[in-house]
Structure 1
Amino acid sequence: MSHKMDRRQFGASAGASLALLAGAGRAVAQPLRKVRFVTPFNFSLSYASVFHAKVAGFFEQEGLDVEVINGKGATTAAQLVIAGQADLARTGGANYITSRVDAGAPLVSVATIAQISPFYMVSSPDSPLKDAKDLTGKTIGVASLGGSMEGTLNLLLRGGGVDASKVERVRVPDVAASYGLIQAKRIAGFMASISSLVKIKAAIPEVMTFPIDDGIPGQVYVATPQAYAANQDLYVRFLRAEYKAINAILKATDLEPIVRGIGKAFEVPGIDDIKTSISDLKQNAETWTAKGPQNILRNVPEQWAEAEKVMNGAGMLKGSVEPTALYDNGARDKAVA
């Protein structure tokens, strides 16, 4: 016996089926995993790859709800990870190696975001600082005492044969406004990130600068070994999302929409100056690919071996360490595969 279904019955049946499927979808949907990421300093386009991964939805695609925390110094950022208050922090390579070797900090580098130092020395054209020797007897500003900037400064001084005790350090913000302290003769110069440097040059084209290439991995992401081992998939997903963001930025023919999107989501000082911000983003992106596009986010073994050698040779470390013990590329390699 056949049974014919009229339109009303068919519609009711189909609607019920769709409702059931929708309910099943909601039942199996997993909540986003909360991840806390700490920057070492105030928000800037130095962190554009993380910002864009958040804005473009790449983190959400990986099942992550990433909170980007405005840091108060590289050392503090790392301490938050050690204390279990953050999953991942960005810090300077030299600062991380020193804390790991000398203080036994329970950290491991899971990725290198800036393959070279993102720092520059800034001074006045009236009293220019051209190299390490010019810093003798001067007062130099750094964003945090004992942090990654000061570690880079120490390497610069040692490499230039300058007695570090002859250079006074004071804490100044890593912002373009700090140039006013030079003009007021309170400091001879200060170390600035690329983002601050771009803004200073836009306002004062004649400003004197020189790059600080210390041969050390510039900026790295650190986690505790315990958290990394227990939740490696979390770090894979984080790095996969950021890798997508990096490639989107590198391939973009017009960076203005990306800059504006970041500006709407994050309070980045000066980001409304689109032309300067685009230049800022481009220069930061160069540090991501400084060792070649094949090494994006990678802890490059040869560079880490050289870093340990340089820092030990400069007397900056109290002991020696096997360079391969300082990092792990497992999550990064899975993320970019």
Structure 2
Amino acid sequence: MFPTNAQTQRPPINRRGFLTGALGVATLGAFSSTIVSCGSSTAPAATGGLKDFTYLSYLPMETLSVAPELLADAGGYFAEQGLKVTFQTTKGSPQALQTLISGVAPLTRVGAIDLMTAAADGQPLVNVGSIVRGSSIRTLYSKDHPLEKPEDFLGTTMGVPSEGGTSDKSLSLMLHKAGFDPSEVKRQVVGLGPGTFELVKRGDIVGYMVSIDQSIVASQQFEGEAAVFDAGDSVRADAQVYTATKEGLEEHGDDIRKYLAAIHDATQAIVDDEELDGVLETMRSKYSFASLDDDTVAKESLRQSRNLWTAKGTQPLLQTVEEYWVEGYEELVDAGMIPAGSDPKQWMDNSYLPASK
């Protein structure tokens, strides 16, 4: 059973909304972001002094795809590590990596495809922890035009959240591994709101790529019309990893260790809470959005996520398995997405993770 705040001596945190604003970044030009300040005002910030730490999220924070972050904040895990975390939202993984490399923040989470593509191009990036093993991207489509296998995608236009982002690249890799030319599927950048399904119904796009919880919400909203394609774990490179630069590790290594320790403990709490009632209560004490507030959607989303975080119970949390990492690199080389000749083991480092228990 998930411990209560009283049992863990964590102070209760009142629900509060997100603070939305624009952050000017000189090295990147005008940069739009969502800022969420984390850490209770009654926690050690007032006495012990929490250290500021900025985390770049390529996903909006109003999704259970970032459940470990939400729980680490609302449950006091960041504060226990002495951190006051700010979530800075970017417009997709390309901007997250650009912002990371510019030195604005020390840590982000992107697809393994994105990290390897950039690292093979000479960017000094390091995978310091694998959070998702397998595809966490779902393709929402109309039952009038089923997408049940890779060949069903051919000759269509697919909606993606950003050009050249994780979803776009994972689609290409899935098609290539199935033996098809990715160029046979056109891409169109679309929003991720429920209204996007109207584009599918009109035939403008055949489907669009969303997070797990968004796919569940849309399937409920368009019950009888919508269905979901899941690429599963057939592609090794379709994983998500916490990413830092080599310079960032030198400068912020201790804080990155603390951040990952908090994420590890929060993720473990979600895994351990079989019924998920305790972790949901804690997250809802501070956050509120559609998929979190709906019990059915939230629990199904977290159940699917638990399987991805643990590789269906076969891998320790956050640890990158070297064999799988190398296989992912070889997939990308074979697909012509990155050149051969690199040692992908130089792009991973498990030493910033808490010791396995």
TM-score, normalized by the shorter chain, greater than 0.5: yes
Q: 1:204 matched to which residue of 2?
A: 222
Q: 2:57 matched to which residue of 1?
A: 39
Name the CA shift for 1:112/1:32 in 2 (closer, same or farther; >3 Å): same
**C-alpha offsets along residues 221-243 of structure 1, whole Å, 9 cap, x if unaligned?**
11111121333221211111111
Q: Is the 8 A contact 1:38 1:71 kept in 2?
A: yes
Matches within 5 A, 1:91-130: 91-101=110-120, 103-130=121-148
DSSP-derived class of the 1:262 partner: helix
Is structure 2 residue 327 aligned with structure 1 residue 306? yes
DSSP-derived class of the 2:174 partner: helix
Instruction: Indicate which of 229, 244, 260 corresponds to 2:250.
Output: 229
Is structure 2 residue 346 aligned with structure 1 residue 328? no
DSSP-derived class of the 2:292 partner: coil
What is the letter of the counterpart of residue 253 of structure 2? Answer: Q
Task: Tell me by how many angstroms 1:190 deviates.
Answer: 1.2
Q: 2:73 matched to which residue of 1?
A: 54
Q: Is the 8 A contact 1:115 1:291 kept in 2?
A: no
- Aligned counterparts of 1:236 and 1:178: Cα–Cα separation in 2: 39
Task: Extract unaligned runs of 5+ from structure 2.
Answer: 1-43
Q: 2:266 matched to which residue of 1?
A: 245
DSSP-derived class of the 1:250 partner: helix
DSSP-derived class of the 1:295 partner: coil
- Aligned counterparts of 2:322 and 2:316: Cα–Cα separation in 1: 10
What is the letter of the counterpart of residue 295 of structure 1? Answer: P
What is the letter of the counterpart of residue 348 of structure 2? Answer: Y
Task: Tell me by how many angstroms 1:293 deviates.
Answer: 5.5
- Aligned counterparts of 1:131 and 1:87: Cα–Cα separation in 2: 39
Matches within 5 A, 1:1-337: 30-43=48-61, 44-101=63-120, 103-206=121-224, 207-212=226-231, 213=233, 214-266=235-287, 268-290=289-311, 292=313, 294-334=315-355, 336=356
Q: Is the 8 A contact 1:38 1:77 kept in 2?
A: yes
- Aligned counterparts of 2:64 and 2:81: Cα–Cα separation in 1: 23
What is the letter of the counterpart of residue 179 of structure 1? Answer: F
Task: Extract unaligned runs of 5+ from structure 1.
Answer: 1-25
Greater strand proportion? 2
DSSP-derived class of the 2:328 partner: helix
DSSP-derived class of the 1:145 partner: coil
Q: Is the 8 A contact 1:111 1:332 kept in 2?
A: yes
- Aligned counterparts of 1:74 and 1:268: Cα–Cα separation in 2: 22
Q: Is the 8 A contact 2:113 2:237 kept in 1?
A: yes
**C-alpha offsets along residues 109-145 of structure 1, whole Å, 9 cap, x if unaligned?**
1111001111122211111112222222211011111
What is the letter of the counterpart of residue 255 of structure 2? Answer: L
- Aligned counterparts of 1:198 and 1:248: Cα–Cα separation in 2: 23
- Aligned counterparts of 1:163 and 1:303: Cα–Cα separation in 2: 24
Q: 2:20 matched to which residue of 1?
A: none
Q: Return structure 1 stretches of 4+ with deviation > 4 angstroms.
A: none
Task: Tell me by how many angstroms 1:165 deviates.
Answer: 2.2
Task: Tell me by how many angstroms 1:275 deviates.
Answer: 2.2
**C-alpha offsets along residues 204-223 of structure 1, whole Å, 9 cap, x if unaligned?**
34433221232215111111
Name the CA shift for 1:285/1:71 in 2 (closer, same or farther; >3 Å): farther
Name the CA shift for 1:134/1:158 in 2 (closer, same or farther; >3 Å): same
Taking only the aligned residue pairs, the percentage that are identical comes to: 29
Q: How many residues align?
A: 308
Name the CA shift for 1:131/1:253 in 2 (closer, same or farther; >3 Å): closer
Task: Tell me by how many angstroms 1:323 deviates.
Answer: 1.8
Q: Is the 8 A contact 1:121 1:191 kept in 2?
A: yes
- Aligned counterparts of 1:65 and 1:264: Cα–Cα separation in 2: 18
- Aligned counterparts of 1:66 and 1:217: Cα–Cα separation in 2: 27
What is the letter of the counterpart of residue 93 of structure 2? Answer: A
- Aligned counterparts of 1:308 and 1:205: Cα–Cα separation in 2: 39
Q: Is the 8 A contact 1:45 1:268 kept in 2?
A: no
| TM-score normalized by the length of structure 1 | 0.85
Task: Tell me by how many angstroms 1:192 deviates.
Answer: 1.9
